[in-house]
Chain A
Amino acid sequence: MSAALNSAPAPERGADPDLELVADWLALQFLTPPDAARIEAGRSAQGQAALREIGTFLGRPDAAETLCGKLADGSAQDVTVALQRRYTALFEGIFRQRGLPPYASVWDGTGRLCGPAVGRMQGLLRGLDLHLAETCCEPADHIAIQLAALAEALRQGNSELISALLDELAWVGRFAAFLTVADGNGYYDAVAQLLSAFLEKAKQN
């Protein structure tokens, strides 16, 4: 990240730093299919412990336990392939089963990608004094961008923007419910449960 970020606005209030971290971790789950390094990290003793801490923090140790189990179920290469395949099937929408595109516009009634949610998110990013990096090819209503923006808002302690971003994430409840149905008892079902728990906690914070 650029050094300019160190000049971000001073926080209005103290945010829970664990929420920020979990928001970033959840964003990463949805941003790209997992690569081998990420799988290796999650399989390590420290990684497994960290996942359990997240589960405990969100009050969903069962979901974290599922993640740990899925990550350890087979060789690292097999797990990587399986989760990449699952990610593509679930979020890239090109298979027999219906995909679950991780974009607000698809779920908020617009009926297509790049709906008004993108414009609203661009406005919120301006409020955070951010713009999408040139290396980022996703529209601003991608769930990973919304979660990462929320993490940044939490870091900045900007109550107004935190509240606005949580409003923008209202679609995620339905998305997570369908993700649970689509993934059965899989890795992304567990991620969906942690996502829902995170949003509840963030609203209460």
Chain B
Amino acid sequence: MTNNSETPLDGPSLSKRSFLKGSAAALGLAGLPLFARGAAAQTGTQGVVSGCHWGVFYGIVEDGRAVEFKPWEKDPQPSPQLPGVMDSLYSESRIRYPMVRRAWLEQGPGADPDGRGAGDFVRVSWEQAIELVANEIVRVRETYGQQALFAGSYGWKSPGKIHNCQTLLRRMLNLTGSYTNSSGDYSTGAAQVILPYVSGSLEVYEQCTTWNNLAENCELMVFWGCNPLNNSQISWQVADHGAWPGIARMKDAGTPVICIDPVRTETCEELNGEWIAPRPQTDVAMMLGIAHTLYEEGLHDQAFLDRYTAGFDKFLPYLLGENDGTPKTADWAAEICGLPADTLRDLARRFASKRTMLALGYSTQRQHHGEQVHWMLITLAAMLGQIGLPGGGYGLSYHYSSGGSPTHTTPILKAVDDASGQSTEGAAWLAGGGAVSIPVSRFVETLLNPGKTMQFNGHEIELPLIKMAYWVGGNPFSHQQDRNEMLRAWRELDTFIVHDVQWTASARHADIVLPATTSYERNDIEQVGDYALSHIVPMKQIVEPVFEARSDFDIFADIAEKLGQGYAYTQGLTEMDWIRKIYEAAKIESRAKGMEMPVFDVFWDSNKPLAFPVAEVQEDFVRHADFREDPLLNALGTASGKFELYSVAIERYGYDDCPPHATWMEPIERLDGPDTKYPLHLAANHPQMRLHSQLCGTVNRESYQIAEREPCWMNPADAEQRGLSDGDVVRVFNDRGQMLAGLKITDEIMPGVVRINEGGWFDPENPRQIGSLCAYGDVNILTTGIATSKLAQGNCGHTGVAEVERYDGPLPKVTVFSQPSA
């Protein structure tokens, strides 16, 4: 910590008499601990390889300062967000020092909870901060029990096998006791729970039929709420951007494309697709209408259904209306989804007559009863009978991270584990662990209802009493829905601790804030492409840590040491020891696969990613082809080994909001819904120039903000009806809250829908007042906090309706990015 109490520089003898020389001592001016004698060596310009969610890049460094992040020359489509990545390193909103909320520090845990977010922080030394955190962990555990400490910290932490801050948090806590964990995620919370019942695996994070195969075999590509040319800018590991050459091949092949979406997407634009815009949240009804037409016209593949699926006979009476009196005809569906019935019938005929790939995106299941969407799409694909054929069937991972980019032959890098004794390979964030585990989006509900029994995926959870939350590598004040309900819930916490790099809304609402390094201030190692796995990249430290930032690894090592588990936490290994160990394990694995990786030092010093080959069979991979070829030998992981269009297990659960076959159920609110109060649907899409809330506090914002606010897209007809003009500052509101936005009028969005991207930083005009107007534009003020159903308990980030009006009041300044007035 920079302090003011050390010995000063002492200068040469004075050449003039000083009138003030007595003042120095009187003012306590013992000296400034800023300098040491001797000129530092000047370094020339260097390019240092690293990687991030946006891809591989070289950090260009001059005299110890990063001046540019330059894309890797082999990146097929560098992300335009990369300048913002460098900006995050030097952002004005960078957290510079350990800080503690004054009321918490002076009056103790739980003091003045209304004051969270209002600001008053005290800078403390690292030593004091570590002591405060360690003591509070002990106090909460001793006073309320292990479960009272929530460490289900979730979010898009930076990539890397060492500095996975969420794993490191749990490692420290597992070594010193226990905690309440979370399971699942916000991206695919509903789909990832129901799909194991339907197709026997997660699907949404598994490889789908490759773009190469589609270009050669697909005759009709349907992007259903699926926009890879936006969302493949990013990957959970280091992005490979393989979607771009993949889609280029499809474009060259001239494959006809249909895009079903309330927004005309980048993918639709690039492929000159046919844009079909049903009412949002009515996908299941639309699919049922198509399915009914298939059956009515004898276009379904009964042989496929007989051989490869189970339960169609129990679904069919519902489809035909035999058990509820409502046949799910195209006309019935048209009334709900807002498209002409003839369009639905035409889609059924085209799907059946062509080799059709149904590519479904994640947003469709982030809605009330979202489980039904993926189930119904698979039911529809099963009726078409093309699953497992080249260029046909369905794909659930084209949506992001370049799913469909062929998988290379590569070892899998291990990672620092959480010391729980459980395997963390694969989708680590889906694992349970801890004293208790709750569905990740149910944290607010848990805070407000300790002791309540919650149904979840066939079992019951007694919601624990939580008094302390520890968050690293995430921003719950962005990704959680219904911000005002969340603020009420946060009042229940004694203590909220956050590590972050920038003053996000979560950091602002914390009691203890610890400045963490970015990936660019530390060393790590990672693989390139979540599906491609094409390279291993040395994530080399580009610059020294700025201000007083420390790595999460070091922070938790100090806390573990304070709690008597320092060695167990580090195992006596340094950062570079860990990296070498992980690399060398991969080297052994690669040898078993017939490859020879260079020794570690050669790899590290090469300053470039290490490439792996791709086999021909992987270039042409077809999802479920092996199952189609031999459904007995390659049975699916379901109870029957087949696609389950009716689930006996789900039937046994008896959930009123998740029936045992794909079913249309009205969400709590939707565009033109029967009981819906507000007239406009909120499309809370993934943004184009940031990763959820990451990079909102950077230079990238200048490329999209309107009147310094988050944009709100609106169709010209809706704008005219409200007398609104392009560039207006508007108030968007419903019964849950209110926010400002900058209006963009465009015919790239359907009437009745407004688009406000999720991830805008929450900027309440009066942080002490729940319901205060958000000056910047956090759309999750307006979306609902309810769960998808008792089955998955996923979030409903795409369920929300609102009204929009011109804002004529005095405009509150946007201050969340801490820009100076200059």
- A residues neighboring B (CB under 8 Å): 1-2, 4-8, 10-11, 14-18, 20-22, 24-25, 27-28, 31-33, 35, 37-38, 40-42, 44, 46-47, 49-51, 53-54, 57, 81, 84-85, 88-89, 92-101, 105-107, 111-115, 118-119, 122-123, 125-127, 129-139, 144-145, 148-149, 151-152, 155-157, 174-175, 178, 181-182
Q: In the complex, which of the residues B20, B34, B39, B820 has the most CB atoms of chain A within 10 Å of its own CB atom?
A: B34
Stretch at the interface among B117-125, B266-274, B592-600: B117-125
Q: Given contacts A31-B32, A53-B23, are A15 and B16 in contact (CB under 8 A)?
A: yes
Q: Is B767 located at the chain interface by the 8 A CB criterion?
A: yes
* Closest residue of B by beta carbon distance from A174: B822
- B residues neighboring A (CB under 8 Å): 1-12, 14-29, 31-40, 42, 62-66, 87, 89-94, 96-97, 99, 102, 118-123, 503, 508, 546-548, 699, 767, 813, 815, 818-822
A113 to B2, CA, bound (A): 18
A-B contact pairs, 20 of them (CB 8 A): A1-B9, A4-B37, A6-B12, A8-B11, A15-B15, A21-B21, A24-B8, A27-B34, A41-B27, A92-B97, A95-B120, A96-B815, A98-B819, A119-B62, A127-B39, A130-B37, A131-B38, A133-B33, A148-B34, A155-B12
A5 to B11, CA, bound (A): 7
CB within 8 Å: A-B pair count: 269
A122 to B26, CA, bound (A): 32
* Closest residue of B by beta carbon distance from A103: B92
A51-B23, A88-B99 known, 12 other contacts, Cβ within 8 Å: A4-B38, A10-B12, A28-B29, A101-B820, A106-B92, A122-B42, A126-B39, A132-B35, A132-B36, A136-B35, A137-B2, A156-B11
Whether the pair A113, B94 counts as a contact (CB closer than 8 A) is yes
Q: Given contacts A35-B4, A99-B818, A137-B548, are A85 and B31 in contact (CB under 8 A)?
A: no
- Which one of B19, B28, B813 lies within 8 Å of A53 (CB-CB)? B19
Instruction: Report the minimum CB–CB distance from B611 to chain A (whole Å).
Output: 33
A21 to B40, CA, bound (A): 25
Whether the pair A6, B90 counts as a contact (CB closer than 8 A) is no
Whether the pair A47, B27 counts as a contact (CB closer than 8 A) is yes
* Closest residue of A by beta carbon distance from B503: A94
Whether the pair A137, B1 counts as a contact (CB closer than 8 A) is yes
Chain B positions within 8 Å of A8 at CB level? 11-12, 37
Q: In the complex, which of the residues A7, A106, A156 has the most CB atoms of chain B within 10 Å of its own CB atom?
A: A106
Whether the pair A139, B546 counts as a contact (CB closer than 8 A) is yes
Q: Given contacts A96-B815, A137-B2, are A157 and B15 in contact (CB under 8 A)?
A: yes
Whether the pair A178, B821 counts as a contact (CB closer than 8 A) is yes
Instruction: Report the minimum CB–CB distance from A174 to chain B (whole Å).
Output: 6
Whether the pair A57, B19 counts as a contact (CB closer than 8 A) is yes
Whether the pair A88, B123 counts as a contact (CB closer than 8 A) is yes
* Closest residue of B by beta carbon distance from A18: B20
Instruction: Report the minimum CB–CB distance from A144 to chain B (whole Å).
Output: 7
Chain B binding surface, main DSSP class: loop
Whether the pair A155, B26 counts as a contact (CB closer than 8 A) is no
Chain A positions within 8 Å of B62 at CB level? 119
Q: Given contacts A113-B90, A130-B35, are A14 and B15 in contact (CB under 8 A)?
A: yes
A92 to B16, CA, bound (A): 38
Instruction: Report the minimum CB–CB distance from A7 to chain B (whole Å).
Output: 8
Whether the pair B18, A93 counts as a contact (CB closer than 8 A) is no
* Closest residue of A by beta carbon distance from B15: A14
Whether the pair A38, B699 counts as a contact (CB closer than 8 A) is no
Chain A positions within 8 Å of B91 at CB level? 112-113
- Which one of B3, B9, B19 lies within 8 Å of A32 (CB-CB)? B3
* Closest residue of A by beta carbon distance from B764: A96
Chain A positions within 8 Å of B32 at CB level? 24, 27-28, 31, 144, 148
- Which one of A11, A21, A96, A144 lies within 8 Å of B12 (CB-CB)? A11
Whether the pair B36, A125 counts as a contact (CB closer than 8 A) is no
Q: Given contacts A47-B28, A113-B90, are A132 and B821 in contact (CB under 8 A)?
A: no
Instruction: Report the minimum CB–CB distance from A46 to chain B (whole Å).
Output: 4
A6 to B7, CA, bound (A): 14
Q: Given contacts A88-B121, A155-B11, are A42 and B3 in contact (CB under 8 A)?
A: no
Chain A positions within 8 Å of B6 at CB level? 135
Chain A positions within 8 Å of B42 at CB level? 122-123, 126
A130 to B508, CA, bound (A): 37
Q: Given contacts A85-B102, A113-B90, are A49 and B10 in contact (CB under 8 A)?
A: no
Instruction: Report the minimum CB–CB distance from A195 to chain B (whole Å).
Output: 15
Whether the pair B767, A49 counts as a contact (CB closer than 8 A) is no
Chain B positions within 8 Å of A85 at CB level? 102, 120
The 6 closest A-B pairs by CB, nearest first: A155-B11, A41-B28, A50-B23, A14-B15, A93-B818, A46-B26
Chain A positions within 8 Å of B20 at CB level? 17-18, 21-22, 50, 53-54, 57
Whether the pair B37, A5 counts as a contact (CB closer than 8 A) is yes
A22 to B24, CA, bound (A): 9
A135 to B548, CA, bound (A): 10
Whether the pair A32, B40 counts as a contact (CB closer than 8 A) is no
Chain B positions within 8 Å of A175 at CB level? 822
Whether the pair A136, B119 counts as a contact (CB closer than 8 A) is no
Chain A positions within 8 Å of B14 at CB level? 17
Whether the pair B94, A130 counts as a contact (CB closer than 8 A) is no
Instruction: Report the minimum CB–CB distance from A43 to chain B (whole Å).
Output: 11
* Closest residue of B by beta carbon distance from A112: B90
Whether the pair A93, B38 counts as a contact (CB closer than 8 A) is no
Q: In the complex, which of the residues B40, B813, B821 has the most CB atoms of chain A within 10 Å of its own CB atom?
A: B821
Whether the pair B820, A96 counts as a contact (CB closer than 8 A) is no
Whether the pair A11, B119 counts as a contact (CB closer than 8 A) is no
Whether the pair B34, A145 counts as a contact (CB closer than 8 A) is yes
Chain A positions within 8 Å of B22 at CB level? 46, 50
Q: Given contacts A47-B28, A132-B34, are A94 and B818 in contact (CB under 8 A)?
A: yes
* Closest residue of B by beta carbon distance from A52: B23
- Which one of A5, A7, A96, A125 lies within 8 Å of B40 (CB-CB)? A125
A99 to B590, CA, bound (A): 52
Whether the pair B19, A18 counts as a contact (CB closer than 8 A) is yes
A35 to B4, CA, bound (A): 9
Whether the pair A114, B38 counts as a contact (CB closer than 8 A) is no
Q: Given contacts A113-B92, A122-B40, A144-B34, are A42 and B23 in contact (CB under 8 A)?
A: no
A149 to B122, CA, bound (A): 28
Instruction: Report the minimum CB–CB distance from B226 to chain A (whole Å).
Output: 35
* Closest residue of A by beta carbon distance from B7: A1
Chain A positions within 8 Å of B123 at CB level? 32-33, 84, 88, 92
Q: Given contacts A15-B16, A114-B90, A137-B547, are A28 and B10 in contact (CB under 8 A)?
A: no
Chain A positions within 8 Å of B94 at CB level? 113
Instruction: Report the minimum CB–CB distance from A102 to chain B (whole Å).
Output: 10
* Closest residue of B by beta carbon distance from A81: B102
A38 to B818, CA, bound (A): 28
Chain B positions within 8 Å of A136 at CB level? 2, 33-35
- Which one of A22, A54, A97, A148 lies within 8 Å of B35 (CB-CB)? A148
* Closest residue of B by beta carbon distance from A92: B96
Chain B positions within 8 Å of A6 at CB level? 10, 12
Instruction: Report the minimum CB–CB distance from B678 to chain A (whole Å).
Output: 29
Whether the pair A54, B23 counts as a contact (CB closer than 8 A) is yes
Whether the pair A21, B23 counts as a contact (CB closer than 8 A) is yes
Chain B positions within 8 Å of A89 at CB level? 119
Whether the pair A138, B818 counts as a contact (CB closer than 8 A) is no
Instruction: Report the minimum CB–CB distance from B505 to chain A (whole Å).
Output: 11
* Closest residue of B by beta carbon distance from A139: B546
* Closest residue of B by beta carbon distance from A1: B9
Q: Given contacts A41-B26, A112-B90, A136-B33, are A1 and B38 in contact (CB under 8 A)?
A: no
Instruction: Report the minimum CB–CB distance from B500 to chain A (whole Å).
Output: 12
Whether the pair B26, A44 counts as a contact (CB closer than 8 A) is yes
* Closest residue of B by beta carbon distance from A97: B815
A182 to B64, CA, bound (A): 33
Instruction: Report the minimum CB–CB distance from A166 to chain B (whole Å).
Output: 18
Chain A positions within 8 Å of B19 at CB level? 18, 53, 57
Instruction: Report the minimum CB–CB distance from A53 to chain B (whole Å).
Output: 6
Chain B positions within 8 Å of A15 at CB level? 15-16
Instruction: Report the minimum CB–CB distance from B515 to chain A (whole Å).
Output: 10
